Structure 1
Amino acid sequence: MAVFTPVSPAEAADWLRQYDLGELVSIEGIGSGIENSNFFFNTTSADNGGRFVLTIFENLEPAQLPFYLEFMAALAARGVAVPRPIPDRTGAILQSIKGKPCCLATRLKGEFELDPQPEHCRQLGRTIAQMHAGGLAYQEARPQLMQPNLRGLDWQQAMLPKVAEWLPADLADLLRDELAVQAGHQSGAQYASLPRGPVHADIFRNNVLFDGTRAAPHLGGVFDFYFAGVDSFIFDLAVAVNDWAIDLDSGAIDAARADALIAAYAAERPFTDAERAAWPLALRAGALRFWVSRLYDFYRPREAETLTPHDPTHFERILRLRRAGPGCALP
């Protein structure tokens, strides 16, 4: 998240009048992230204690947005800990402000856990499985809204010429080789047999909140669904493992955290044989996706009031490690 489109308190107060959410108390820009403009939005409403988040969509087209917003709404209706989009007086959850599409959703409780322990990972694994079950139900109910992971292999291949020119030859060769490996895998029968559905595709430590205490944490919720799309469930899980269950300095898998996350997921949804076989390539795919996107954001940044591109070398290290060996397995 970042702030590309500033919104003044006066503009926010005027925009809020289309909701039954009381009066504006305060609006504060959120500086983390790199895709949309986001603001903490506090009102006098009793709904959710008056605590909301306004997201202004900077890249996604209005026609794409119902998939994301209805996905969140469907999960929230099932009791999964995710933001709940707020309808205006007409019942619409997709709005506009300053000529751009936007959405107001509930603000979750808790704080980031940047040093997760096995218990945090256990709760996250269970929640990811619940999100996948809810995603399947959403897909069955609203098949016309489904869309693929927009940062999937096709996007990564399209970004190759845009980032390769900035890279030394060895890194460009590594990028091309892994894209070729993933393309071969994703064209095969094993990949086609993987269970799939709508997934978050971006479950990082800064997209999950925990409250409670460190000794007895409680997962407050998963947010920032705007990279979601239909993809394999193990890709979504691999993205989470590659962030939540690693040593951040080296990228190496931490066995205790990985085992806790994966076992909790499997208790809700057991893995198939095809998923077990494809797991090493899923971990590599998760690392590749974020290496490519971080390379693009680093070398071709957009202007924003609060924007700090992430270091792409972090996922280069992770990809190299996963190519050498997965570091964990599915039960």
Structure 2
Amino acid sequence: MAVFTEVTADEAGQLSARLGLGHVVALRGITSGIENTNYFLTTDKGDGNGEQQWVLTLFERLTAEQLPFYLHLMKHLAGHGIPVPDPQADATGEILHALCGKPAAVVDKLSGGHQLAPSVWHCQQVGQMLARMHLAGRDFDRHQPNLRGLPWWQETVPVVLPFMTAPQRALIEQELAFQTDLAHSAAYAALPRGPVHADLFRDNVMFDGLPGHEKLTGFFDFYFAGVDTWLFDLAVCLNDWCIALDTGRLDEERAQAFVTAYDRERALGHDEIRLLPALLRAGALRFWTSRLWDYHLPREASMLKPHDPAHFERVLRERVDNPWHWLRDDGRPD
């Protein structure tokens, strides 16, 4: 969500008019993130009833052939009652547009703000909604694999190895071999799967309300979504929502609350519970690899702020050294 492509107010205004969103009042670049160009777009409603905020996204890596999966998934989830941004259509019903020579989309802006220091209460809400989102995606009729899954790890790890120390290289190569073996196992192949967010970090969820009583208002930034195991999506969340950021150590109270809330909406199977420690490692490997790539091989952007890859190195070491096993409330694994 850095600004790779500069958009003028006139250019944004032409797209806004085509979508029937009103006149552009303000246009402000969003500095966080590293994948796409994002702006907050404020328009008048054209009816004298105030202003409305949108998010304008120009896609820097994803192609026009890949994007319909993400945009139509958001439409599908919104239609099933999941609070996600709704892509805006033009007069022909098209939700994928073009701006400044790039594929583009405009979605409504969710209310509220991030919870960067989540409590058990926040984790319960995210776990519950994550399970509902997985269930809502079961009948989505488009398919695209998780483009940052195992094949991407296998392709990218050799590229970043020259930038790593010997102990780091040993860890990442051992973990990649472990995850490759796991992916070829019968238990892994049988895991339930469907559309996943695959990047549902604290800054991709919104809450609104009085402090201590905030209610979840939505999930956003679905542009890493794909079809994968639901357990991987859960593991990615646990590795961000339920850890101490300075050490990567899992906070078991938050993790227990998150998984229990998820399980009450969609009961986890025996193999999912058994393989959760391995998928927590997979989630850490995925983001360590991508952060190494972004940090050492950056693209130019006017507001680019790559994340520190050392964080997910710590998380992976923690998951290998201290695997976490979850049990249901009755103490049984299934």
TM-score between the two structures when normalised by the length of structure 1:
0.96
Alignment identity in percent?
Answer: 49
When residues 65 and 48 of structure 1 are mapped into structure 2, their CA distance, relative to the original with a 3 A threshold, is farther
Residue 13 of structure 2 aligns with which residue?
13
Equivalence for 2:28: 28
Q: 1:193 aligns with which of 174, 190, 209?
A: 190
Question: Hey, what's the Cα distance between the residues in 2 that align with 1:14 and 1:42?
Answer: 13
CA distance in 2, matches of 1:38, 1:199: 22
Q: CA deviation at 1:15?
A: 2.3
TM-aligned CA distance change 1:267 to 1:306, over 3 Å = same
The structure 1 residue matched to 2:124, chosen from 122, 125, 139, is: 122
User: Residues 36 and 201 (structure 1 numbering): CA distance in 2 closer, same or farther, change over 3 Å?
Assistant: same
Aligned-partner residue type, residue 44 of structure 2: T
Size of the aligned set, in residue pairs, is: 326
Render the CA deviation track for 1:241-261: whole Å, top value 9, x for unaligned. 000000111111111211111
- DSSP 3-state at the match of 2:18: coil
1:208 pairs with one of 205, 218, 233: 205
1:311 maps onto 2:308 in alignment: yes
**Residue 260 (structure 2) pairs with residue 263 (structure 1):** yes
Displacement, 1:328?
Answer: 4.3
User: Is 1:271–1:330's contact at 8 Å kept on the other side of the alignment?
Assistant: no
- 2:62 is aligned with 1:65: no
TM-score (structure 2 length as normaliser): 0.95
> How far apart in 1 are the matches of 2:117 and 2:250?
14
Q: 2:73 & 2:136 partners in 1: Cα distance?
A: 9
**Residues 262, 330 of structure 1: 8 Å contact kept:** no
Equivalent pair of 1:245/1:254 in contact (CA under 8 Å): yes
- Alignment CA distance shift 1:330-1:207 (3 Å): farther
Match of 1:104 among 97, 102, 106: 106
Deviations 1:212-244 (A, max 9, x none): 122101111110000000110010000000000
1:111-135 Cα offsets, whole Å, 9 max, x none, are 1111000000000001100110111
Paired residue for 1:56? 58
SS at match of 2:208: strand
Name structure 1 gaps, 5 residues minimum.
none
Q: CA 1:273 to 1:14, structure 2 compared with 1: closer, same or farther past 3 Å?
A: same
**1:39 corresponds to:** 39
- In structure 1, how many angstroms separate the alpha carbons of the residues matched to 2:50 and 2:202? 23
- State the AA in 2 paired with 1:124: V
Deviations 1:114-172 (A, max 9, x none): 1000000000001100110111121xxx1xx3111000011011011210001111111
Within a 5 Å distance, the mapping from 1:53-202 to structure 2 comes to: 53-138=55-140, 142=141, 145-202=142-199
**Residue 214 of structure 2, aligned match among 212, 217, 226:** 217
Residue type of the alignment partner of 2:230 = F
Q: Secondary structure at the match of 1:17?
A: helix
CA contact (8 A) 2:274 2:325 kept: no
CA contact (8 A) 2:273 2:325 kept: no
Cα gap change, 1:48 to 1:109, in 2 (>3 Å): farther
**What one-letter code is carried by the residue in structure 2 that aligns with 1:42?**
T
The amino acid that maps onto 1:35 is E
- State the alpha-carbon separation in 2 of the partners of residues 14 and 85 from structure 1: 17
2: distance between equivalents of 1:174 and 1:255? 25
